[in-house]
């Protein structure tokens, strides 16, 4: 029996969905070299939807969804990128994309009908977005040499658009 050696690069995705039950899901690539393309994971349970795509090595994503009917799509490519996302409440939506190296995105949405669209391209970029309330919307774009971003919206019907180049 030929066991694989320790991976040079591993992609770890953990999606935990909680709506009266705990449903863990994970995807990983233990191959020394890509064999089937980027790691993909799709999970739909308790009305929640999660789609994760990762290409590269040492990228991580941690997702928590609590409540009803949240949707999250994330894609990252490059090296050592990290996404942490938590959605609580009802019908919160998020789309997150990043490429490059050592980037970090943190998203925390609580309430109802909040929307977040976050994207960054570069190296060592950081974005932290928090939305609390109902019907809030945020769009964030960061490019190389952007300063770290920390955005908080607390209230109802708030809109923010931040573009840093």
Mean pLDDT of all residues belonging to the chain: 80
Q: How many CB atoms lie within 10 A of CB 20?
A: 7
Residues in Cβ contact with 94 at an 8 Å cutoff, skipping those fewer than 6 apart:
71, 72, 73, 74, 85, 87, 107, 109, 115, 116, 117, 118
At 116, phi and psi to the nearest 5? -140, 135
Q: Is the pLDDT of residue 23 over 70?
A: no
* Tokens encoding 33: 């070299």
Q: Residue 13 above 60 pLDDT?
A: no
Question: What average pLDDT does this structure show over 60-71?
Answer: 92
pTM of the predicted structure, to 2 decimals: 0.74
Q: What is the pLDDT of residue 35?
A: 46
Mean pLDDT value across residues 72-81: 94
pLDDT at 19 over 60: no
As a whole number of angstroms, the distance between CA 14 and CA 104 comes to 16
């Amino acid at each position: 029996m030929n066991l694989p050696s320790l991976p040079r690069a591993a992609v770890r995705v953990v999606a935990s969905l909680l709506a009266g039950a705990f449903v863990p899901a994970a995807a990983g690539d233990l191959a020394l070299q890509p064999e089937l393309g980027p790691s993909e994971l799709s999970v739909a349970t308790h009305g929640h939807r999660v789609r994760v795509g990762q290409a590269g090595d040492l990228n991580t994503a941690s997702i928590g969804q609590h409540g009803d009917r949240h949707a999250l799509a994330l894609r990252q490519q490059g090296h050592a990128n990290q996404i942490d996302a938590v959605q609580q409440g009802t019908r919160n939506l998020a789309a997150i994309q990043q490429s490059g190296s050592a980037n970090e995105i943190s998203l925390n949405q609580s309430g109802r009908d909040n929307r977040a669209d976050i994207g960054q391209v570069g190296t060592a970029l950081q974005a932290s977005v928090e939305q609390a309330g109902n019907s809030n919307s945020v769009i964030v774009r960061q490019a190389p040499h952007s300063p770290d971003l920390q955005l908080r919206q607390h209230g109802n019907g708030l809109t923010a658009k931040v573009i840093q180049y």
